[in-house]
Amino acid sequence: MTEPKLRKVNDFLWEIPREGKMRVPGRIYASAEMLPDVTRDNAHEQVANVAQLPGIVKFSLAMPDIHWGYGFPIGGVAAFDVSEGVISPGGVGYDINCGVRLLRTDLERKAIEPRIKEVVAALFRAIPSGVGSKGQLRLSAQEEKQVLTQGAHWAVRNGYGRPEDLDKIEENGQMKGADPSAVSAKAMERGRPQLGTLGSGNHFVEVGYVEEIFDQSLAAALGMFKDQVTIIVHTGSRGFGHQVCDDYIAVMLRASQKYGIELPDRQLCCAPVKSPEGQQYLAAMACAVNFAFCNRQMITHWARDAFEKAMGMSPRDINVQVVYEVAHNIAKLERHVVDGKEMELCVHRKGATRAFPPGHPDVPEQYRTIGQPVLIPGDMGRYSYVLVGTQKAMEETFGSTCHGAGRVMSRHQAIKSAKGRALHRELEDHGIFVMASSRETMAEEMPEAYKDVSQVVEAVHGAGISVKVAKLRPMGVIKG
């Protein structure tokens, strides 16, 4: 591990001074007690590498859930001038538009506790999970192209959800600029059978309840109350998005040479935003973004259905509604004020969440007085958080905050550490019933493999780039 050169800015912010070929300083949000975990895997070096890319403005940023990623750190945020800057697939990641959707119900904890095993089993049957899992739909090639351009709207138009669901999704569940002709046949082939599936890795559907409310008025505005039963859906664009990233890494390696871009790391390969390669990647990435929006909408539909059957209740009695859905692993063209000047930027959020403030036009009208909801899942054994975005986030982080707990163990380390342990039973002893597609997945995702998400949340709350609203406690989880 290299010794990080970090200068304290305040109790929750640390700066990597500009040196060598860095065009801007790096900045990492974290408390002092988190720094050993934050720097353990040298992810701070990736923050400094990103700072060397052309057209980056203000800072190369990292949130407190930072850990080592492909080129860019996970938990990284970087904004590039659209006229002079670049776009990089490594700055978006392989699981394009991996994201989180929070659902609320009218049920209270005591109603579901006696039935939690039936509910989790019903969810596990209804939502295909695991590596290479296939969905219930058999899309034609033409239908898949419609999914890629229409996103969650395709699902609702075909009976998988309600029109009001769309109002609570980032980008309204449909990113503009998607062009299926920019996507390879291989990506199309991988995506076609996977719509409506959870996948593997850290993806999950979690049934929990509101354990604690930090701000009553903000919680009420989100329709949330203490002991309310909630559902979190965390998944992304599956093999489709992975293939889009893989295809464009090859394109961008050639483009970096073509445009004479000096790379501190080949994984940061990129092209000018306005170049043909940059525009093609944006069009293909938007297709993967829309695939993921549609995927979470389909899973919401299966989850509603499974919940109603397991509880033996009507849709009206349970009343599963979307609170909000946030996107991670995405690049967006946004307008921000930099040094007093409004600029059009290409903002990369890789393992980071948009956190726009009250009054912003991109926040759903129903939430515009409180700011964008921010959803921060933890690990399956502890808790998750709901927050809202702030004006300070807009000023300091291009309207961004953290996205989760962040790993402290590699998957290999976690499997080794879990050897000989009965993780199912350990979690059940804490009142959490888990079903997973494999024991290996359970081991990879065991709670100790992650930072304590409360530390991450306290750091962004303390820094003022998000405000805590509520803490959720898991009762049942299905893992991919």
Catalytic residues: 403
Sorted by sequence, the CB contacts under 8 Å of residue 460 that are 6+ apart come out as 12, 29, 63, 64, 387, 401, 402, 466
Q: Would you state the structure tokens that stand for residue 21, as one six-digit string?
A: 């070929």
Cβ neighbour number for residue 51 with a 10 Å cutoff: 24
Angle at 380 between CA 70 and CA 131, to 5 degrees: 55
- Distance between CA atoms of residues 151 and 453, nearest Å: 30
Three-state SS at 145: helix
Closest by CA position to 352, among listed 404, 421, 294: 404
Q: What is the enclosing helix (H) or strand (E) of 342?
A: strand 341-350
Closest by CA position to 34, among listed 468, 472, 462: 462
Query: What b/e sequence results for 71-92 when a residue is b if at least 16 CB atoms lie within 10 Å of its CB, and e otherwise?
Result: bbbbbbbbbbbbeebbbbbbbb
DSSP secondary structure string, 187-214?
HHHHHGGGTT---STT-EEEEEEEEEES
